[in-house]
Structure 1
Amino acid sequence: MKELIETIVKPLVDFPDEVTVQVTEEDNHIIYLLSVNKNDIGKVIGKQGRVAKAIRTIVYSAGSLQQKKLIIEIGK
């Protein structure tokens, strides 16, 4: 899933080398913390959060077979 998030986000940003995804797994959910350059946060979130919502939709669909809830957080 980490690779999927990176594959989606890297073409969207100006600094693809600074895209990182940290994974934290807990009992009932998995948190993916997406970090990008501070100048790219707007591109990843998009107007009214549309790009972030699209990323989440794709990742949640790909992970729908997992028993744990997936959470994606975007930060710098």
Structure 2
Amino acid sequence: MKELIETIVKPLVDFPEEVLVKVLEEENRVTYQLSVNKNDMGKVIGKQGRVAKAIRTVVYAAGSSQQKKIFLEISE
């Protein structure tokens, strides 16, 4: 899943080397923390959050086979 997020986000940003995905796994949930360069935040979020919503939709669909709830957080 981490690779999927990186594959989706890196082509969108100006600084692909600064894309970082951390995984926090808990008992019944997995949280992926996506961190990008400050200048790339707008590109990852998109107008009215459309790009972020699309990324989350793909990640949630890919993780739907898992028994754990999946969350994607986007930060600088």
Asked if these proteins are the same fold (TM beyond 0.5), I'd say yes
Q: Kindly indicate whether residue 4 of structure 2 is the aligned counterpart of residue 4 of structure 1.
A: yes
Q: Kindly indicate whether residue 6 of structure 2 is the aligned counterpart of residue 18 of structure 1.
A: no
TM-score (norm 1): 0.99
Which 5+ residue runs of structure 1 have no aligned equivalent? none
Counterpart of 1:42 in structure 2: which amino acid?
Answer: G
1:41 CA displacement = 0.5
1:72 maps to what in 2? Answer: 72
1:39 maps to what in 2? Answer: 39
* Divergent runs of 4+, >6 A: none
SS at match of 2:27: coil
Aligned mates of 2:20, 2:5 — CA distance in 1: 9
TM-score (norm 2): 0.99
Aligned mates of 2:28, 2:50 — CA distance in 1: 27
CA RMSD of aligned residues (A): 0.3
In percent, how many aligned pairs have the same letter? 76
SS at match of 1:39: helix
Equivalenced residues, count: 76
